Structure 1
Amino acid sequence: MSDIKVGDVVKLKSGGPDMTVKDLGDYSPMHSENSAKCVWFDGKKLNEEVFGVDTLKHAPKGFVGVI
């Protein structure tokens, strides 16, 4: 069972941009019931695609420092 939830920032295990999980569900027939609809920006262009949750991992959190 995946611990990925709506609103999580994820990326493909094989690499790629950080994406936000917009929805989880069954997007058959192309994907299993464990699918995530993800959105991300490429410059100003909004992209949306469905991925199997088993192909995703949580994106590393960026460093937030205090000056």
Structure 2
Amino acid sequence: MDQIKVGDVVVLKSGGPKMTVSTIDRRASGGELHAWCDWFVQDKAPWKKESGVFALTSLKLTD
């Protein structure tokens, strides 16, 4: 299994937009690895940058 690293493009295993991993770190609660991800949404021009934190186990690599 490929390991996710900073700079990789990922998606949630449940679906959603392509996201770029900006940071990987352990959260204070439980010590599980989490990825800080950024993605863009285009409702109308201009594109809007979004970001979020996800458990590494909920992500998969994409093309």
What TM-score comes out, normalization by structure 2 length?
0.82
Q: How does 1:54-65 map to 2 (within 5 A)?
A: 54-59=57-62, 61=63
User: Do 1:2 and 1:54's aligned partners in 2 also have CA atoms closer than 8 Å?
Assistant: no
Structure 2 unmatched runs, 5+: none
CA distance in 2, matches of 1:8, 1:14: 18
Give the length in aligned residue pairs: 59
2:14 maps to amino acid = S
Q: How does 1:45-56 map to 2 (within 5 A)?
A: 45-56=48-59
Please report the RMSD computed on the Cα atoms of aligned residues, expressed in angstroms.
1.9
CA shift, 1:4, in A, is 0.3
Percent identity over the alignment is: 46
Structure 1 unmatched runs, 5+: 62-67
User: Partner residue of 1:26?
Assistant: 26
CA shift, 1:32, in A, is 4.2
Q: Max radius of gyration: which structure?
A: 1
